[in-house]
Structure 1
Amino acid sequence: MIVIFCIICHLMFVSGSSLSDQVHQTPSEKFCKTGDKPQISCRHEIQDYTRIFWYKQSTDHQMQLLGYMNVNDGYPETGANVKINGGATKGETCSLTIEGVNTSSSGVYFCAASRTGSREAYFGQGTKLTVLDPDAEVQPPTVKILEPSKKECKDKKGKKKKTLVCVASDFYPDHVSVSWTRNGQNITDDIQVSTDAAATAKKDGKNYKITSRLMVPIKDWVEPNINFTCTVSFFNGKSNIKKNTTYTTKGIDYPVITRESYIKITQNAKISYTVLILKSCLYAALVCFLVWKLQRKRGKQTK
C-alpha cells in the first residue's frame, strides 16, 4: 500500500510527460443510467510497464483510488464496487467495470500505467462519466452571441478592444466544449479567449449553461465583414454534434449629413451663438452698473 500511495502522489508530476501519449483510454465520454455497469478500457505501449492504476476524480476534484492491475491480476479497493480485468503489460487491454452505479458515480475516471517498483505513473486522457437523471432528457444547447457594451473600449492593460460573449444554454448533460474562429481560422490565444471552467446547472438541476468571452482587438472591430464564430461541441451519448453562431463586424459607421440636417445644425449653432452674445452683453451691462453705483457711493462718502 505504501508503494501505491507513493505512485498516486507522484501522478500529478508526470502526467504531462510525453510517455502519457502512449497511454490510451477509451471512451473519452460516456453516459449511463442508474443500475448500469459501464466499462472503461485502457492500454499502453510502454516497455516493462506492468501495472495499471484506476482512480476517480469527483466533481469537487477529490481523487479516489479504485484499485489496480498487476500483470493479469486485478486488485480493486475495498468498497470501490468495481471490477478490474484484462492485462496490464504492453499492448494488453485493462478494463474497469463500475458496478452499482448511482448519481454519485458521475465524475472523471483515469487510468495510469506504471512499472513495478517505480514511483512514476503516466495518465490516460480520462473518461467523463455521467449518470443520467431519470427525469431529464438529453438535449443539445441553444447558442447565441451577445454584442459588446457600447461603453466598453479598453481592457485592464489599457488596450482598445471589444468583447463578444457566447452563451450556450438549456443543454443536458454538461458534456460540452467551446471554441472560436476568425474567418474560419481557429483562435487559440488564451488571452483572447476566456471560457468558464465548467458548465453550471440551473436551479432545476436539469439544464446547464456555459459562457465564453472573446476579446476582439479594435483593429478587427473597425473593419467590416470579419466573421467571428462560436462553436459548441456537445456529446449526445453517441457522437459529438456541433452548434454554432456567427457575429459579423459592421466596421465604423460614418453618419451621412444631408443638406437639411446641415442647415438645421448651422441654424441651431447660430441661435446658440446669438444667445451667448446676448448673455455676455447683459453680464457686461450688469458689471458696468455695479461699478458706476460703487463709484457714486464713494463720491457721496467723500463729500
Structure 2
Amino acid sequence: MSLMALWKKFTRFCFSLSAVNFQQLPSVFVKVGDQSVTLWCDQDNNQNYYMFWYRHPADSGKMELVAYSVGKDAAAIEAPFSKTKYTLTRPEVLRTSLQIHSPEAADSAVYYCASSLAQSEAYFGAGTKLTVLDAEVQPPTVKILEPSKKECKDKKGKKKKTLVCVASDFYPDHVSVSWTRNGQNITDDIQVSTDAAATAKKDGKNYKITSRLMVPIKDWVEPNINFTCTVSFFNGKSNIKKNTTYTSTFISETNILNCSLYYIKITQNAKISYTVLILKSCLYAALVCFLVWKLQVGPETSMLVLIVELLMLRDFF
C-alpha cells in the first residue's frame, strides 16, 4: 500500500472517531392540501461537505435516499424521486433543508439528515417524523388491565405479575409510553416491554399501543404501591400526557397463594400421571415376556394366538 493510501486511510479513521451533532425537529404535522412543508437540519462539523436526506416510510423496512448535497449551494434529487416534488437547499455548509411540495398521506415517514466526508462513513441525526394528516387529531384513551389470577411465574421461573397498559383510539401515532412506581421512573428493560410502534386499525385513522410491566411478587403483595402508566401524545403543538394508576392491595396476596396452589396441583397431577404410565409400561413388558416364554415352552400355542393376545393387551393399555 502506498504512503498516500495509508495517509488517506489514517485521516478517514481519525475523522470517523469524531461524532457529529445534529439538530432536527422530532415531529412535524401538516394537512393534506397544504402547499408545502420544510424540514430543517443543522450539523456541527464543517469538514462534512456531504449532506443527505433519507426517508423511512412506516410501511417499509428500507431507507430511501431522497436528496444529497456535495457542498454549499449544491443540491441533487435522487431518482426515482421527482424534482417537482422535492427541493433541497444548502445555504450554509452546516445547514440544509428539504422541502416537500403538495404533501400527501404517502409522504408520511421519518426523514433522516446525514453528513459525511467524501467516500467516508455517514453520520445520521435522530430524524424528523413527518405526518400528513387526513383526519382530526385525537388523543388516546389509557387503561391498565389487571393480570390473570393464575399467573405466577415468568419463563425463567421468577415469581411475578404482569400489568398491561393499553392506549387506544388516538391519531396520529406520535406516542411514547413510560411507567413509574410510586412516582419513580422504571427504566429496567426486563420489567418493561412496549410495542415497537403503534398499530393502526383498518381505517388507518385510529391507533393502539400496549406496554407490559412485570411486577415482582414482593411489590405485588405489599399494599398501597402505585404503578402508573403515562402515555405522552404529540398533538402537533405540544405533548399531552395521559396516565392511569393501579394500586396494589392485600387481596392480591390471596391471589398469589391460590396461584401457587394451582401450580402445585398441576405438578402433582403430572407426577402421578408419569408414575402410572411407567407402571403400565413395566406391566406390559412383563406380559410380553411371559407370552414369549409361553410360546417357547408350549409349541402347541400358535403364532397367530400370540399376535391376537398382544393386540388385546395393547388396546387394554
Asked if Structure 1 and Structure 2 have the same fold, meaning a TM-score greater than 0.5 normalized by the shorter chain, the answer is yes
Rounded to whole Å, the distance in 1 between the matches of 2:30 and 2:17 is 32
Residue 223 of structure 2 is matched in structure 1 by 224
Does 2:87 match 1:83? yes
Contact 2:28 2:128 in 1 (8 A): yes
Matches of 2:181 and 2:159 in 1, distance apart?
Answer: 18
TM-score scaled by structure 1? 0.73
Counterpart Cα distance in 2 of 1:49 and 1:131: 31
Whole-angstrom CA distance in 1 between matches of 2:203 and 2:55 = 26
In the alignment, which residue of structure 2 is the partner of 1:65? 65
Instruction: List alignment gaps of at least 5 residues for structure 2.
Output: 1-15, 255-317
CA offsets 1:26-73 (integer angstroms, 9 cap, x no match): x11111122331111111112411121001101122211111122221
Q: Separation in 1 of the partners of 2:96 and 2:253?
A: 66
Query: How far 1:165 moved relative to its partner?
Result: 0.3
**Within 2, Cα distance between the matches of 1:239 and 1:61?**
29
1:219 aligns to what SS in structure 2?
helix
**Does the residue aligned with 1:104 lie in a helix, a strand or coil?**
helix
Q: For residues 252 and 104 of structure 2, what CA distance do their matches in structure 1 show? A: 57
User: Does the Cα contact within 8 Å between 2:220 and 2:253 map onto a contact in 1?
Assistant: no
Task: Identify the residue that residue 279 of structure 2 maps to in structure 1.
Answer: none
Question: Structure 1 residues 108 and 169 mapped into 2: Cα distance closer, same or farther (>3 Å)?
Answer: same
Once residues 121 and 61 of structure 1 are traced to their aligned partners in structure 2, the CA distance between those partners, rounded to angstroms, is 19
Name the residue aligned to 1:95.
97
Equivalent residue, structure 1, for 2:119: 118
Q: What are structure 1's unaligned runs of at least 5 residues?
A: 1-15, 256-303
- Which SS does the other structure have where 1:150 is aligned? coil
Counting only pairs closer than 5 Å after superposition, residues 19-168 of structure 1 correspond to structure 2 as: 19-20=19-20, 22-25=21-24, 27-36=25-34, 37-59=36-58, 60-72=60-72, 73-78=74-79, 79-80=81-82, 81-87=85-91, 89=93, 92-115=94-117, 117-133=118-134, 136-168=135-167
Structure 1 residue 88: deviation in Å? 5.2
Shift, 1:120, TM fit: 1.0
SS at match of 1:225: coil
- TM-score norm. by structure 2 comes to 0.70
| Shift in alpha-carbon separation, 1:223–1:69, aligned structure 2, 3 A | same
- Could you list the structure 1 runs, at least 4 aligned residues long, displaced by more than 4 angstroms after superposition: 252-255
- The size of the alignment, in residue pairs, is 233
Residues 18 and 29 (structure 1), Cα distance of their counterparts in 2 relative to 1, 3 Å cut: farther
- Which SS does the other structure have where 2:33 is aligned? coil
* Distance in structure 2 (CA, Å) of the matches to 1:100 and 1:217: 52
Instruction: Quote the offset at 1:23 in angstroms.
Output: 1.7
2:220 and 2:252 in contact (8 A); partners too = no
| Aligned position for 2:184 | 185
Q: In structure 1, give the amino acid aligned to 2:89.
A: N
Q: Please, what is the CA RMSD of the aligned residues?
A: 1.9
- Quote how far apart the aligned CAs of 1:211 are: 0.5
